[in-house]
Amino acid sequence: MIEGVVFKNIKSHIDDRGFFREVFKNNDTEINKKFNQISHSYIKKNIIKAWHIHKKQYQWNYLIKGKIYLFLYDLRVKSKTYKKKIKIVLDAKKKIKMYYFPPHVAHGYKTLADNNHMLYGTSGFYDPQEEYKLPLINKYIPNFFREI
């Protein structure tokens, strides 16, 4: 695992009308950060979105629909988990998860389903100056995407 990264199972409350899920909660004691913006992203199949690194923002992600191969990589030099990675397949049809990560944890994913919808919250507001974007192949992060 990576220090500060949290994966939470999301419980579905199902009845004959459908379901209800509590995804992001500001009173979550495990995370203890507030979000300021909720965004929705639609991503087509076989798209790689990487690498993004926030300078100050924390981020919560929830895959509403689809399937992704997720990669997280710790770039925080003073972290106990510096250069540690997480790679996991998330499938919205199976075990539903929300994941959370702090600033300076690089994040990226490849979409594996035809239609993918990601809901994410950030502790700040959208600001291109607040994040770093690195090319897929770079000197800081191993090329995990060649594995898939």
Per-residue pLDDT, 29? 80
Report DSSP state, residue 27.
T
Q: Which helix (H) or strand (E) holds 74?
A: strand 67-74
What residues contact 43, with CB distance under 8 A and at least 6 apart? 49, 66, 111, 116, 117, 118
Answer whether 0.75 is exceeded by the pTM. yes
What residues contact 1, with CB distance under 8 A and at least 6 apart? 81, 84, 86
Per-residue pLDDT, 141? 93
**The two structure tokens encoding residue 50:** 């990487």
Domain hosting 106: range is 6-147
CATH code of residue 81: 2.60.120.10
Q: Assess if residue 127 is contained within a domain.
A: yes
Q: Which helix (H) or strand (E) holds 12?
A: strand 12-15
Burial class (CB in 10 A: 0-12, 13-18, 19+), 75: middle
Longest CA–CA span in the chain (Å) reads 52
Say if residue 25's pLDDT is above 90.
no
Say if residue 100's pLDDT is above 80.
yes
Say if residue 113's pLDDT is above 90.
yes
Percent share of the chain, pLDDT over 90: 85
Per-residue pLDDT, 27? 86
Per-residue pLDDT, 148? 73
Q: Assess if residue 1 is contained within a domain.
A: no
Percent share of the chain, pLDDT over 70: 100
What backbone phi and psi angles, to 5 degrees, belong to 117? -125, 120
Q: Assess if residue 134 is contained within a domain.
A: yes
The mean of the pLDDT values for the chain is: 94
Per-residue pLDDT, 144? 86
Q: Assess if residue 89 is contained within a domain.
A: yes
Looking at the structure of the chain, the number of domains it has is 1
Say if residue 89's pLDDT is above 90.
yes
Say if residue 99's pLDDT is above 90.
yes
